[in-house]
Amino acid sequence: MPDRVDLARRVDELALEHSGAAFAEAVRRYSDTLDPAEREELKAVLTEKAWAQQNPVEESAVPRGYFRRLFRMAQTERRPSPPDNRPPK
């Protein structure tokens, strides 16, 4: 049973081999080899890839783990206030 990473890798391979209607047909043929749960996962992979392609700026602005790293930094970095009690820049 292919996992999400395997499905995404296969979609990428098909995208390199085909374009347009030929890509859609290749994905359909690949989908026919999967069980219903794997097809649902394939749909999710295709939806994510379509969203990322339509919104490349948003996708690149929030790299994987960004919020985790931001939260970790907020927990560990405590900047002291300046001596004159002005807010930090």
The pLDDT tens digits of the residues spanning 9-31 come to 999 999 999 999 999 999 999 99
What's the token pair of residue 57?
């700026």
Q: Is the pLDDT of residue 39 over 60?
A: yes
Is the pLDDT confidence value at 79 over 60? no
Confidence grade of residue 76 (pLDDT, cut at 50, 70, 90): low
**CA gap 33, 14 in Å, rounded:** 14
Q: Please tell me the predicted confidence (pLDDT) of residue 52.
A: 75
Identity of residue 13: E
Lowest mean pLDDT among 3-17, 27-41, 57-71: 57-71
Instruction: Tell whether the model's pLDDT for residue 7 goes beyond 60.
Output: yes
Q: Are 49 and 8 in contact (CB under 8 A)?
A: yes
Once rounded to an integer, what is the mean pLDDT over residues 45-65? 70
Output the pTM of the full model.
0.59
